[in-house]
Structure 1
Amino acid sequence: MTTPPRIAVVAHRKKSLGGGLDELRRLIIDEGVDDLLWYEVPKSKKARKKARKAVREGADLVFVWGGDGMVQRCMDALAGSDAVVAIIPAGTANLLASNLGIPRDLPEAVRIAFHGARRRLDLGRLNGEHFAVMAGAGFDAEMIGEADRDLKDRVGRLAYVWTGLRHIKDGSVRTTIHVDGQKWFDGDASCVLLGNVSTITGGIRAFDDARPDDGWLQVGVTTADGALQWARTLGRMITSRSERSPFVRITRAKKIKVRLDASVPYELDGGDREPTRRLKARVVPDAITVCVPVSD
């Protein structure tokens, strides 16, 4: 007789979707689960410890309730393990879920977890932490780091646009980027972005050729400076391929090193980190298994 998988839930209790955590519990129990591990956290920073505890307790399938910040913390903890991740997109930003086709529909997201496909994904690893969607330094991180949390709850992605407008005039930083051991960029840059998927903050398709299971990270650098150049750059991202902008360069790599002449903040999957002058990143192939919709 096949042993049923052990189920765990790691939930950001301040995030909401559908009928909330009570409905999530009911939907899981309705699938015949009678031995449910349940962990709630008040902030995503505490999720990593709970995800590791779930694996120690024997969890085979871990539901992650929240946004990209929650998912990033849990995937950082679960990378390399045999646990399968079921994403329940209850956050303000759910970029990984949308890139994978997981809807903001609680019953459907749970159905995918139990009856959908399993997809092995790459992760990026930057300065010691895994990320699933993107990592960035400069304009991108400033925009995310200062987006007021209450404003994000009220207006969602528009919060990033609002704060981004305040940072357009912050200027560029001398930047050197090595990809797979070779110098690729040396000059002034306003944003450095690493992508594991195509669509990033604000729903912008920054990396047209990105796939989260191809063994590569996309690397982008933007030299746009000032409102006019940034408007042209974002417009090209929205209407065409990003690399067609004269202010954007894109390549792909397995290992990336970035040196900055000044300390700037950086971000991982929408979560801001302390300023740094060095970024060291690499792709981690086949790092995590995620529940996804069945392909047609």
Structure 2
Amino acid sequence: MSEIRTAALIVNAKSRRGQKLFKRACRRLHQLPFKVEPHAVRDPKHLDRTVRQALENKPDLVILGGGDGTISGLVDLLVGHDVILGVLPLGTANSFARTLGLPLDIDGAIDMLATGTPKRIDLGMIDNDYFANCAALGISPQIAESVPHGLKKVLGRVGYLGWAGYQLGKFRPFTLFVDDGTSGEKKLRVVEVRISNGPYHGGTWLVDEAAVDSGQIVVQAVRGHYKRRLVANWAWSFLGRPERHHDTISFSGTSIKIRTDPPLPISIDGEVLAHTPVTAHVAPGVIRVMVPRTPA
């Protein structure tokens, strides 16, 4: 693409898989029609610094390689810069990549960087923190904080769902208070809440109303007193049957206030980074990202 002349690739290479995929990606970079400066970051604490240094060179494209947590943790740094985001999906769920319709394999994702087109999209916000795809409270933060790294690495999504089932034995429903600014605060008894900028959560399609170019944030609550409702909701979504989402209620808006009883942690694209109460916002069209070109 004539718009892109230079790019930087920053990969979270902490894991052995990340290191391996970084080397594989580098072997493909010379095939792109623009120059790419690669960076493998083995200590996640240095990711912010590496992105900031890469931005000093004013690249046209910044390619972030990692999972949803890596993308969300770094996307704040790109806001306000005249730069296009490229995504190299190296995570377990890759929900943001799925939302964008990106190829999930390394070769396909790199090829798309050459043949795709920039698209302006929204980002979600929890208070003042940007996120790419989805935040959650309830069982998801409990899973994110406790899942054994080896289980997630070896078994992927299936292992993640198995661990989720195990954690349900320790989980209790909670009370959600949500105010979308239109009809006062609503009180619900729920088992999970998703704050979504895109439809995918945990690698499965769960939030039908959410889209990265809608100009709205969506808060979806899984209602009920019984944990089996959450199990059924996940199971039907995992099997590709979103029409069975009859136990959910969604609220949409540009700014939605959320509190819970008791106060709960919030995972933002898989990383526990906040606690209720919070305000969820949308930042409309705040960033450009490389997506597959739509056939004419």
Where on the TM-score scale, by shorter chain, does this alignment land: which range? 0.7 to 0.9
Contact 1:168–1:230 (8 Å) recurs in 2? no
Q: CA RMSD in A?
A: 2.5
Tell me which residue corresponds to 2:221: 221
AA at the equivalent of 1:281: A
Q: Does 1:40 align with 2:40?
A: yes
Secondary structure of the residue aligned to 1:244 is: coil
Tell me which residue corresponds to 1:11: 11
Deviation of the 1:174 alpha carbon: 2.4
Tell me which residue corresponds to 1:293: 292
Deviations 1:126-173 (A, max 9, x none): 132211110111122222222222111000112321232233242122
Deviation of the 1:43 alpha carbon: 4.8
Deviation of the 1:103 alpha carbon: 1.5
Q: Does 1:173 align with 2:174?
A: yes
Secondary structure of the residue aligned to 1:263 is: coil
Provide TM-score, normalisation by structure 1. Answer: 0.87
Q: How many residues align?
A: 290
Rounded to whole Å, the distance in 2 between the matches of 1:62 and 1:241 is 37
Structure 1 gap segments, 5+ residues each: none
Contact 2:192–2:230 (8 Å) recurs in 1? no
Contact 1:176–1:183 (8 Å) recurs in 2? no
Rounded to whole Å, the distance in 1 between the matches of 2:4 and 2:208 is 39
Rounded to whole Å, the distance in 2 between the matches of 1:130 and 1:77 is 10
Stretch moving more, 40-49 or 5-14: 40-49
Tell me which residue corresponds to 1:187: 188
Deviations 1:94-135 (A, max 9, x none): 111122221233232112112211111100011322111101
Contact 2:94–2:203 (8 Å) recurs in 1? no
Rounded to whole Å, the distance in 1 between the matches of 2:264 and 2:45 is 21
Deviation of the 1:222 alpha carbon: 1.8
Q: State percent identity of aligned pairs.
A: 22
Tell me which residue corresponds to 2:200: 199
Secondary structure of the residue aligned to 1:157 is: helix
Provide TM-score, normalisation by structure 2. Answer: 0.87
Deviation of the 1:4 alpha carbon: 6.0
Tell me which residue corresponds to 1:135: 135
Change (3 A) 1:180 1:160: farther
Tell me which residue corresponds to 1:22: 23
Alignment map for 1:1-296 (pairs within 5 Å): 5-14=5-14, 16=17, 20-31=21-32, 33-34=34-35, 36-44=36-44, 46-169=46-169, 170-180=171-181, 182-203=183-204, 205-235=205-235, 237=237, 238-241=240-243, 243-245=245-247, 248-273=248-273, 276-296=275-295
AA at the equivalent of 1:176: F
Change (3 A) 1:107 1:18: farther
AA at the equivalent of 1:200: H
Stretch moving more, 55-64 or 233-242: 233-242
Structure 2 gap segments, 5+ residues each: none
Rounded to whole Å, the distance in 1 between the matches of 2:86 and 2:201 is 20
Rounded to whole Å, the distance in 1 between the matches of 2:223 and 2:31 is 53
Rounded to whole Å, the distance in 2 between the matches of 1:31 and 1:234 is 39
Contact 2:22–2:40 (8 Å) recurs in 1? no
AA at the equivalent of 1:230: L
